Structure 1
Amino acid sequence: MKFIIDNWYLFLVALASGGMLLWPLIKNARDGALTPARVVQMINREKAVVIDVCETEEFAAGHVVGARNLPLGQIEERLPGVVKNKALPVVLVCATGARARRAVTMARKLGYDNAQAMAGGLAAWRAASLPVEKT
């Protein structure tokens, strides 16, 4: 116990560094964001549908293989026609993840409870060296 009292600052530093390491995991869990590796698992195991919410020009420049393009402004009108089964996992992707998080909110209002955003967007997908296709 004397060691702990004499070296309280070391324990404080260890606690702070541990918190900083855990923060991204906690934040992503709260936001419902997915890693690119988890998205691949969902596509392969759970038949997840990948929706790219980028504008058409951005989508044509590069997107997740097999993704469908629904620009953010068209999600509410077109998503029910593209993904008819609301029980399927829906992965929303954009360039960096910001628009995808907004799209998750819209999709959940439409009844897609399994809608989630991919953390980091297409940039994270490319950083993980996963395939990108262009149209």
Structure 2
Amino acid sequence: MAAPCAGTLRVKFLLDNWYWIVTALVSGGALAWPQLGRGGANAVSPQEAVQLMNREKAVVIDVCDTAEFAAGHVVGSRNIPLATLDGAKGLPSNKTLPVVLVCARGSRAQRAAGVLKKLGHERVHVLAGGMAAWREASLPVEKSA
């Protein structure tokens, strides 16, 4: 009698153990979901951003364009539009200082996080939900002239 081929054994294993495979995939997805919903591993809530600002002197950088920044931004934040971020002078020279990136909803801030990490900044965070989440949390917003 001939031995079964390796491909047949793999298929048989998958069919015999499908419920374990599904359980592993569902468990992994359940563990990853909170991070994906927050905007990634480096995302922080508005409350966590405030703690970073108060306890660790985090620098808040708003990567919105100038008009959006003028319409309302986190009190004390610096405006460095995403397009000008690479090589901007307003970035902290101490690359170990925490940086919180903000935009309207969080997507531009995620892209900006990649830029700052490439520039060597070690502690880059993104405000999950952006200014919309900041306002929803009833945190202070200032407008520029």
Q: In which range does the TM-score fall when normalised by the shorter chain?
A: 0.7 to 0.9
Kindly state the Cα deviation for residue 113 of structure 1 after the two structures are TM-superposed. Answer: 1.5
Count of equivalent residues: 117
Gaps of 5+ in 1: 1-11
The 2-side partners of 1:128 and 1:29 are apart by 17
TM-score, normalization by structure 2: 0.74
Task: Give me the identity figure in percent.
Answer: 54
1:63 to 70, 73, 79: 73
Question: What aligned pairs does 1:34-113 form with structure 2 within 5 A after superposition?
Answer: 34-78=44-88, 81-113=90-122
Which aligned runs of 4 or more in structure 1 are off by greater than 2 angstroms? 28-31
Asked whether the equivalents of residues 39 and 128 of structure 2 are also in contact (C-alpha less than 8 Å), the reply is no
Paired residue type of 2:126: A
The 2-side partners of 1:111 and 1:123 are apart by 28
Q: Deviations over 1:32-89 (max 9, x none)?
A: 111000000000000000000000000000000000000001111105x531110100
Name the SS for the 2:113 alignment partner: helix
Tell me the residue number matched to 2:20.
none
The 1-side partners of 2:40 and 2:110 are apart by 12
Tell me the residue number matched to 1:26.
35
Kindly state the Cα deviation for residue 26 of structure 1 after the two structures are TM-superposed. Answer: 2.6
The 2-side partners of 1:31 and 1:106 are apart by 16
The 2-side partners of 1:68 and 1:29 are apart by 22
Kindly state the Cα deviation for residue 29 of structure 1 after the two structures are TM-superposed. Answer: 7.6
The 1-side partners of 2:142 and 2:84 are apart by 22
Tell me the residue number matched to 1:129.
138
Tell me the residue number matched to 1:4.
none
Kindly state the Cα deviation for residue 107 of structure 1 after the two structures are TM-superposed. Answer: 0.2
TM-score, normalization by structure 1: 0.80
Tell me the residue number matched to 2:9.
none
Q: What's the Cα RMSD here?
A: 2.1
Gaps of 5+ in 2: 1-22
The 1-side partners of 2:125 and 2:57 are apart by 14
Kindly state the Cα deviation for residue 30 of structure 1 after the two structures are TM-superposed. Answer: 4.0
